[in-house]
Structure formats: C-alpha cells, structure tokens
Amino acid sequence: MKTVAEILKEIRPEFDFATSKDFIADGMLDSFDVVTLVAMLDKNFGISIQGVDIVPENFKNHETIEALLRKSGYKQ
Amino acid sequence: MQPVDTVNQVFTAIQQVKSNASAFCTNLFPVPQKLQNWVDHEELFCELHSGAAFFFRKDRDFWRLYFCAANGEALKREFMALPDVKIKSMVMDLIERETASDSLLPIMKSIGFQLYARLCRMARPGSPDSQPLSSGDLQPVYAGNEDIQAVFDILSASFDHYAEQLPTIYEIEAAINNRQILMIKHVQTLAGLLFFETQGITSTIRYWVVAEKFQTLRHGSALMRAYFATHAAIKRFNLWVIANNQPAILRYQHYGYTSDKLVDHVLVNEVIRT
C-alpha cells in the first residue's frame, strides 16, 4: 500500500509537498488533481470518500487528508 | 432540467452517485467558488438519475455538460435517457491522461457525441532568469474596468467558443479586479493581451493573443516577458492549447513549455454538428 506522500508525489512529482501547509492555496493541486487524488485514495485505502467531502479544505495538507481518510473509514 | 440553487446540491448529488459506485467517473472537477458564481448567475442546472448526475451550464448559445456516474455502463444508460441532449446544443470536455486505458471516449461516441477539438496541456518549470523587456517594447499594463468589452471582443474574435471556455463579462471583470490581464494598447485600441490565473506557486495562461494588425510589433513577446517578470516566484507554469495549432505550440515551446501528457477531448452533440 502506498502512503499519502507517495500518492501526492505520483500526481505532482515536481512539487515538494513536505514544505506546504496548504496544497490548494499554494497551487500544488488543482481541481483535476483533487479528483485524481480522490480516486487514488479510494483505491489505495479501500474506502469511498463522500462527494460532500471533495472540497478544498480536506486536501490542504497531510493532516487534513489523513483526517479525511479516517472519516471515510480507513483504520490504520 | 432543474435549476441548481446551492453549491451543496452539487456535492450532495456527487455523493449520492459515488456512494454506490463501482467505477466512479466524472468530468466535473468542482471548484466551490466557481460553482457559486454559476449558481449566483443562474447558469447551472441539473438532472439527477439513478447511478448518474448531470449538470448543465449555460454558455452563450449552448450548454456545457458535466456528469458523474457510478460506472461507464450507468453513464451510457442514463445519458440515453436525457431528453435535452437530443434537442439542445451541448459541449462536453473529457480530461484524461494521454495514455488512459479506461478512456470514456468510446462511450461518448456511442451516445452521439463526436470529437470537435483536442487540447493538450503544456507546462514549464519556474525560472529565475526571466528576460527584461527591451527598451523598444511597449510596456504592458494591467487591464482596467474600461477595457472589459474590448477584452471580451478580442477573445470572442480570436478563440473558439466551444473549445476554449471563453469567459463571460463577469468573469472578465473579476479577472481585471484580480490583475490577471496584461494588455498593450495603441492609443485607444486593444492590440494584445495575456490573460492568466495564478494560484500559489502555479500560474496558468488562459489566453495570449495579439490582434492581426499589430502582429509584427513584438507585442506577443513583450506580454510574455512581462508575465514571466511579474511571476518570479512561480514554480510551475501551465496552459492549454489546441493540439493541432502547431504555430501556437511552437511559440510556447520557444518559451520552454512542453506537453505534460494531459489532454482535453472537446466533444459536441449532433445538434451542433448539424
């Protein structure tokens, strides 16, 4: 299973996601990337992120993405 | 087709489709603020089916169609049950990786949509060595509210309204207020412009155009150099270009842009083709 960091790197290899607190505001993920990320998270973690959760606030940084994974039923 | 009154309606519809999806597919990449603008301007309508949701945005004299579906089979089945697709002019964008093995193109073609244009995304990394304007160049300036109509007119005359997502008057006004349009004027005439959107460390050129009678005056390069000079902190520059517009692609390559393997298939229905 890939980590969130590995998935982000796969989507946008040119950016260093460790340096940002807000991937959306910093322009590291656009709306297409977010939908791509949702599909990859669903598949990788065996969950289904809800439509109402596909909003920028949930994809700001590693912490919010991990919180979203937990909310969507992923248990580490 | 029902009007969409709140952005939340869109997200709720996506959730309903996605909750039972075996292979969720969509061409809607929701940006809440953009959706809110469409709702505020009463441009957005929807139709909800079992296993699929469709959204229609009024754009000039046609509709832009967005969908989300539980899988390709549901998409095809519910599409066939959409009465408006048979009688109204519709345009749809399908954004995919160039190498996508699960392309939705065959499904769209099977329900009567045909390829109208193909756009490819080009990108370049940020560069600290932007060239300054030469002394002979006219200095680009930011467009002001008095330029709204001229900007609208030059974009309408120069770009394809089905393929290139031309902005409305209110979107141009917002872009001007956000200082996203660099332009060069000759006396009172708009000679050329570069319209961009910047978010954090990424900036996207939406339109770059010089009116025909000014095309020998190097305004295009002056605009591009001014753009790079005002975006020194940007790490990634993007743009979309029509894939067979070789002269434009060559110009962008000159400025360091290369294909990043993302394509946008612009599809139109039979009403437009006839």
Domains of chain A with CATH codes: 4-71 (1.10.1200)
Q: A45, A34, A54: which is closest to A73 by C-alpha?
A: A45
Same domain as B132, residue B74: no
What is the per-residue pLDDT for B45? 97
ipTM score assigned to the predicted complex: 0.74
Band (pLDDT 50/70/90 cuts) for residue A51 is confident
Contacts with B19 from chain A: Cβ below 8 Å: 48, 50-51
Domain contains B94: no
The shortest C-alpha distance from A27 to chain B (Å) reads: 4
Domain contains B159: yes
User: What is the average pLDDT across A46-67?
Assistant: 90
Other residues' Cβ atoms within 10 Å of the Cβ of residue B233: 11
Domain contains B110: no
Domain contains B144: yes
Q: B261, B266, B267: which is closest to B120 by C-alpha?
A: B261
Model confidence at A50: pLDDT above 90: no
What is the per-residue pLDDT for B21? 82
Alpha carbon distance, N-terminus to C-terminus of chain A: 12
Same domain as B222, residue B144: yes
Same domain as B210, residue B135: yes
Domain contains B50: yes
DSSP state of B173: H
Whichever domain contains B180, its CATH number is: 3.40.630.30
Taking an 8 Å cut-off on Cβ atoms, the answer to whether A50 and B31 are in contact is no
Q: Is the dihedral of CA B24, A33, B38, B116 positive or negative?
A: negative
Domain contains B268: no
What is the per-residue pLDDT for B133? 60
Mean pLDDT by 10 residues, chain B (274 residues): 94 88 87 92 95 95 95 93 91 89 88 94 80 70 97 97 96 97 94 95 96 91 94 93 96 94 94 87
What is the per-residue pLDDT for B103? 85
Contacts with A25 from chain B: Cβ below 8 Å: 199-200
Tally of domains within chain B = 2
Residues 6+ apart with CB under 8 A from A59: A23, A24, A29, A34, A37, A65, A68
| Nearest CB partner across the interface for A14, out of B30, B125, B262 | B125
Same domain as B131, residue B229: yes
Q: B258, B60, B73, B260: which is closest to B169 by C-alpha?
A: B60
Same domain as B223, residue B134: yes
